[in-house]
Structure 1
């Protein structure tokens, strides 16, 4: 099930975004970005719809996922 970022409290959304960033690993680009810059970038992706919030009833967990990953999941099922 997908959840709108607008439905979450700001602190909850921020914690979810930070967890997502830390799970994604290290940047390998030429520029290093701060956590706040990365957080703002992910928030922008949520607003654009390229990243979505997914709730799993099976595992009772919430995660951020790239929209193309959901499309891949749907195509393999």
Structure 2
């Protein structure tokens, strides 16, 4: 189920994004952006529609997926794992 990010207050959205970032354990290579930069990068992708926030009712967790991965799921595609934030095309 998609969660409209414009219905979440800013602090709640920030906490959800932070939890996603800390859970996924992405390796950012030689650059190691701070949490604020990571959060803002993902927030921009969510607000622009390039990424979506979804709630998985089975695991009772939130995930952030690329728009394409979410569309694939809607069409009955194979379950897609969350996309690491560095693969969302964030500029951090």
Q: Helix, strand or coil: the match of 1:30? A: coil
Contact 1:16/1:64, CA 8 A, preserved across alignment:
no
Q: TM-score, normalization: structure 2?
A: 0.68
Tell me whether 1:49 sits opposite 2:16 in the alignment.
no
Flag structure 1 segments of 5+ consecutive residues without an equivalent.
Answer: none
Flag structure 2 segments of 5+ consecutive residues without an equivalent.
Answer: 79-92
Give the stretch that moved more between structures: 12-21 or 53-62.
Answer: 53-62
- Identify the structure with the greater helix proportion: 1
Q: TM-score, normalization: structure 1?
A: 0.78
Alignment RMSD (CA, Å)? 2.0
Change (3 A) 1:58 1:28: closer
By how many angstroms is 1:58 displaced?
4.4
